[in-house]
Amino acid sequence: MNFKSISYFLGLFCFPISFLAFINILYSSYFDYFLSIDSYFTTLFVSLFIGSGFIYYGKSSKKKINFIEQLFLIIFVYLLVAFLISIPFYLSDNQVTFLNSFFESISGLTGTGFSTFKNIKYLDPTLILWRSSSQWIGGLYFLFFLIIIFANKKFTYKMISLTYSGDSDYSSEINIKKNIFKIFIYYCILSFCLFLMFNISGIRLFNSLNLSMTIISTGGFLPTDFLGNIISTNFQKIIFFLSLSLSMFNFYLIFNIFDKNILFKDHKEDLYLFFLSIILVIFIFFNNNSSLDLIISIISSLSNSGLTLIKSDSLSLYFLFITIIGGSLISNTSGIKLARFYILIKIAGAEIIKLISPNSVINKTIFDSERKIIDGDIKISFLIFISFFLSLFILSSFLVLDDIGFEKSFKLSILTLTNTVNSELFNLENLNFANLLTSSKISLIIFMIIGKIELISVFLIFKQMLFKD
């Protein structure tokens, strides 16, 4: 294992946390929030020290790591960066334990939104901003992982090649730097556009800033206890609906939208997601008194955000099923993903057709595009499907030992694996994470990360450790 090279890249991931801490220091100074400013100075210096130490340790190594080492890097990034982000939580005046602080930071980094805090509106505004920042940086890091690491041609279980139209040559350091820079610029532009949209709709500046950082990562942190305290008018609801939709689709959609030659060819998956959204809305319309709030809840579930304006009793299982589907392969969403469901359903239908009419010509294109579904895609889709429910069984087994009941354990396991917040949408809004057993919190921390990197990643790591060449 090339630990020196891993440590070099790990150190690089520490410096953005220093920048976020510096921004919070400026914010605290400008608005006279000096109560917790020392915690951000501590985070700034600790992240700079640790980052510089790792880079110094690995500067003489070869700056190239294999796929398994990249998976180790991702896990180390989540753990180390979560530790750095947990410092302001732990040093705050809210008497938060280290485990709860670490739980809060992992929840932010993975875009899940589980929180040990109650009465959010009474928190220090800088701490609220810090929570939202953790989701923003987590979404950015995941896009780095998604394009740079999970686009590996040897291990294609993320199936990015089925929808990604960008530069797939990552062999050179120049191309890696170029793609990281492009992702950063695009991500910042999208975040700023969401901020402007919220602000124009009449949402106050502070709430607009926090919402934009949360939504771009399909997260679940709010600057208040209930979304309805922020969004009330129909115009604001429409803006919120559009912002959720934007984060659900392929990250590169907005940048290709002006190029009509590649728009439909490279974004068929997004077109199918759009049609699926319409079908789900129609289903709700014919079975309930449809409203804009319900439509928002559907998109929120499909984008693995979970933020809602309603309290759902009869439809909670319906919304849970939608969260399992997830959004585009190249987005911050989690879940099994629509493309994998599509492949399994299409191949199952093709096998049935073969039984009825053996001489039939089977169309094996993905979303009717030029890309073909190969046997490897079918195997991976099925393996992801099985591993998801295996993870669901394992996590539920740990959570059921806690005093929350089987139904809540099952629901919470689904939300953990899809990195979706426990909102009124799923009747889990009153769940107190601070009171959970230590074993439950650790299990949730582990599976929040697994929800992002897939259980297959863990299997590959164990395979490398047990069967070394």
**What does the alpha-carbon distance between residue 376 and residue 326 come to, in Å, rounded to a whole number?**
21
pTM of the model: 0.91
Instruction: Specify the residue for token string 């890309």.
Output: 371
Could you tell me if 363 and 460 lie in one domain?
A: yes
Query: How many residues are recorded in the chain?
Result: 469
Residue 403 lies in a domain: yes
Longest dimension (CA), the chain: 76
**What does the alpha-carbon distance between residue 157 and residue 26 come to, in Å, rounded to a whole number?**
42
* Domain boundary, last residue among 228, 248, 268: 248
Residue 256: other Cβ atoms inside 10 A: 19
Residue 63 lies in a domain: yes
Could you tell me if 162 and 24 lie in one domain?
A: yes
Could you tell me if 229 and 326 lie in one domain?
A: no
Q: Is 365 helix (H, G, I), strand (E, B) or coil?
A: strand
365 - beta bridge partners?
372
Could you tell me if 286 and 366 lie in one domain?
A: yes
Residue 88 token pair: 């302001």
Choose among 85, 12, 94, 100: nearest CA to 50. Answer: 12
Confidence check: pLDDT of 217 > 70: yes
| Choice between 45 and 172, residue whose per-residue pLDDT is larger | 45
**Mean pLDDT calculated for residue range 108-128:** 90
Would you put residue 95 in left (φ > 0), alpha (ψ -120 to 50) or beta?
A: left
Residue 313 lies in a domain: yes
Could you tell me if 239 and 305 lie in one domain?
A: no
Q: Is 216 within 8 Å of 247 (Cβ atoms)?
A: yes
**What does the alpha-carbon distance between residue 325 and residue 303 come to, in Å, rounded to a whole number?**
9
List Cβ neighbours of 391 (8 Å cut-off, separation of 6 or more): 413, 417, 447, 450, 451, 455
Residue 191 lies in a domain: yes
Choose among 112, 122, 116, 119: nearest CA to 102. Answer: 116
φ, ψ of residue 181 to 5 degrees: the values are -65, -45
Instruction: Specify the residue for token string 């591993």.
Output: 387
Confidence check: pLDDT of 193 > 60: yes
Q: Is 158 helix (H, G, I), strand (E, B) or coil?
A: coil
Could you tell me if 68 and 139 lie in one domain?
A: yes
* Domain boundary, last residue among 200, 220, 248: 248
Could you tell me if 228 and 301 lie in one domain?
A: no
| Choice between 164 and 313, residue whose per-residue pLDDT is larger | 313
DSSP letter at 161 equals G
**For residue 174, what pLDDT is reported?**
55
Choose among 321, 272, 315, 273: nearest CA to 290. Answer: 315
Could you tell me if 209 and 330 lie in one domain?
A: no
* Domain boundary, last residue among 248, 279, 306: 248
Residue 324 lies in a domain: yes
Could you tell me if 53 and 145 lie in one domain?
A: yes
Residue 255 lies in a domain: no
Residue 39 lies in a domain: yes
Could you tell me if 211 and 308 lie in one domain?
A: no
Residue 188 lies in a domain: yes
* Full residue range of the structural domain in which residue 179 is found: 3-248
Confidence check: pLDDT of 183 > 50: yes
Could you tell me if 281 and 183 lie in one domain?
A: no
**For residue 77, what pLDDT is reported?**
95
Number of domains in the chain: 2
pLDDT tens-digit map of 38-85: 999 999 999 999 999 999 998 887 777 888 888 899 999 999 999 999
Q: Is 9 within 8 Å of 73 (Cβ atoms)?
A: yes
Residue 170's pLDDT band, with cuts at 50, 70 and 90, is: very low
**Mean pLDDT calculated for residue range 99-122:** 92
Q: What is the DSSP string of 201-224?
A: TT--HHHHHHHHHHHTTT----SS
To the nearest 10°, the Cα dihedral for 316, 247, 450, 222? -60
pLDDT tens-digit map of 20-32: 999 999 988 888 8
| Choice between 272 and 252, residue whose per-residue pLDDT is larger | 272
**What does the alpha-carbon distance between residue 230 and residue 182 come to, in Å, rounded to a whole number?**
32
**Mean pLDDT calculated for residue range 373-377:** 83
Could you tell me if 310 and 242 lie in one domain?
A: no
List Cβ neighbours of 335 (8 Å cut-off, separation of 6 or more): 304, 323, 324, 325, 326, 327, 417, 418
Confidence check: pLDDT of 165 > 60: no
